[in-house]
Structure 1
Amino acid sequence: MKKIFLVAIAVFTLIACDKKEVDADANIHITGDVKGLSQGKLYLQKIQDSALVILDSIIVNGDSKFESHIKLDSPEMLYLFLDRGQTNSIDNSLPFFAEPGNIKIETTLKHFFADAKISGSKNHDLWKKFDSINSKFRDQNLALMEKRLKNELKPNATTTDSIEKAYKSLLTRKYRYTAHFAATNGNKEIAPYLALSEIADINTTYLDTIQKSLTPEVAKSKYGKMLNEHIKERKTLEVQK
């Protein structure tokens, strides 16, 4: 009886040691399910100083469901990375806009990025809405790149001019759409994020408009502060020219 009791204690101790300690300061609770994943590793990452850093690593062994508790000072774009081991798939990184609260991520091993459904983040909902239109700009850009490559094989001056005009028109429409989307959502951190990630080189007049649309809380966020610094740097360079 005593041996059984000692074995029970030993097992309990191993389980307790294996369980991650939850950070008392954590303000984001992430739960998820990667259907089809029975064994592997997931990494929660963010960009810091132009490099990806790991916030949390999650070992999956038998159960495709996962959980993580992390702390962020303000809403931020994160990346859920799937370590596929020897597989050379490029479908292994899932971007999502994290914010304080409960976030749920559901996807599959087969189509890790394409099948992803993320809920619990208003910033992410807005990012998906933006991306649904932005993806059309990307598709049009790829089509123009294909035409440009074909034209290079058999150069035609008229075709070259037509492609360049179409590209400039596409870029202008994309920039205006992004600037408008950011300016009309100044109460969310998605606004300064889009200004920095999509149209950082746009005319500073547009960047000023976006910055002025930000609520005080968003202006003090990570991306809000970064946008402010970016505008200052751009204006300094413009004065020096």
Structure 2
Amino acid sequence: MKKLFAICLLFLIFACSKEKKQGNMIVQGQIKGLKKGTLYLQKLKDTLVVSVDSISLLGKDEFLLSDNVDSPEMYYLTFDGNTSEKRIIFFGEQGTITINDDVKRFGLNTKIEGSKNQKVYEDYQKMTSKFQGKQLDLFEANFLAQKEKDVKKSDSLRKLSEDYLKRRYLYSINFALNHPDDEASAYIALTDLADANVKYLDTINKSLSERVKASLYGKKLAKFIDKIKNQEDQP
């Protein structure tokens, strides 16, 4: 009996000491200043954000996390509180992705390397952020015009804001059409163009490569388009 217990104990120690198997995506890097806490690698599953890996940092701010990725998709990097207020959002895909940041400005000045779709999405965001900034300026100006009861100026600013919104939609559509081999295009269509005319979504979908169509977001886009068309066909 004692011998059996000793064997079981050795087996348990071996199992606990054995390194966990890494997935086909490695997420590594450094969060400067994060000397103590738990870092979580998360993604959206159905409608819930779930943790797929985590690491406790004790005295060091470097980390290594992993997951198995079938096709590129959005991941989140959070720590401790596990809230949406402080998180790094990035495109995860097979291979090694390096993320460097600072705990004091976590998620605000992140440097991400090793993900092709992340680079494509960052290029897209650089331009759309300019549209968003301009629309905010116009919104504030319109608010002041309304406060001053300047109807003519308010109408002019409203029309200008609508024009910028249209230009942003056109930019998003053209960007997706010009990147048919990147899963980021399907993601952009699903998120930033979800309320666009279905004919534009259909055009984007048809332009995607077969590989992207077979990806997570490619399948979701096709399903989303079919849902809209079915709703439009109903009396």
State whether TM-score is above 0.5.
Answer: yes
Asked if 2 retains the 8 angstrom alpha-carbon contact of 1:29 and 1:70, the reply is yes
Cα distance between partner residues in 2 of 1:19 and 1:165: 64
Counting only pairs closer than 5 Å after superposition, residues 29-108 of structure 1 correspond to structure 2 as 29-83=26-80, 90=85, 92-108=86-102
Asked if 1 retains the 8 angstrom alpha-carbon contact of 2:39 and 2:57, the reply is yes
Cα distance between partner residues in 2 of 1:209 and 1:154: 44
- 2:108 aligned with 1:114: yes
Asked if 1 retains the 8 angstrom alpha-carbon contact of 2:139 and 2:161, the reply is no
Q: Summarize deviations over 1:7-53 as a string: whole Å, max 9, x none.
A: xxx9xx59x83775124xx2101111001110011111112223322
What letter corresponds to residue 180 of structure 2 in structure 1?
Answer: G
1:22 corresponding residue in structure 2? 21
- 2:196 aligned with 1:202: yes
Cα distance between partner residues in 2 of 1:190 and 1:211: 12
SS state at 1:208 partner:
helix
**Structural RMSD (CA):** 2.2
SS state at 1:158 partner:
helix
Asked if 1 retains the 8 angstrom alpha-carbon contact of 2:205 and 2:221, the reply is yes
Aligned residues: 224
Asked if 1 retains the 8 angstrom alpha-carbon contact of 2:145 and 2:151, the reply is no
Cα distance between partner residues in 1 of 2:203 and 2:40: 36
Q: CA deviation at 1:237?
A: 2.1
Asked if 2 retains the 8 angstrom alpha-carbon contact of 1:40 and 1:84, the reply is no
Q: Match for 1:144 among 135, 138, 151?
A: 138
Cα distance between partner residues in 2 of 1:58 and 1:18: 16
Q: Summarize deviations over 1:164-211 as a string: whole Å, max 9, x none.
A: 211211111111111111111111100100000101111122111111
Deviating above 6 A after TM superposition, structure 1's stretches of 4 or more consecutive aligned residues are none
Q: CA deviation at 1:56?
A: 1.5
2:5 corresponding residue in structure 1? none
Cα distance between partner residues in 2 of 1:196 and 1:150: 34
- 2:223 aligned with 1:229: yes
Cα distance between partner residues in 2 of 1:171 and 1:18: 56
Asked if 1 retains the 8 angstrom alpha-carbon contact of 2:76 and 2:87, the reply is yes
Name the TM-score, length of structure 2 as normaliser. Answer: 0.88
Query: How many percent of aligned residue pairs carry the same amino acid?
Result: 38
SS state at 1:110 partner:
helix
Cα distance between partner residues in 1 of 2:229 and 2:149: 40
In structure 2, relative to structure 1, the CA distance for the partners of 1:205 and 1:21 (3 Å cut) is same
In structure 2, relative to structure 1, the CA distance for the partners of 1:109 and 1:217 (3 Å cut) is same
Q: Match for 1:167 among 161, 173, 188?
A: 161
In structure 2, relative to structure 1, the CA distance for the partners of 1:223 and 1:49 (3 Å cut) is same
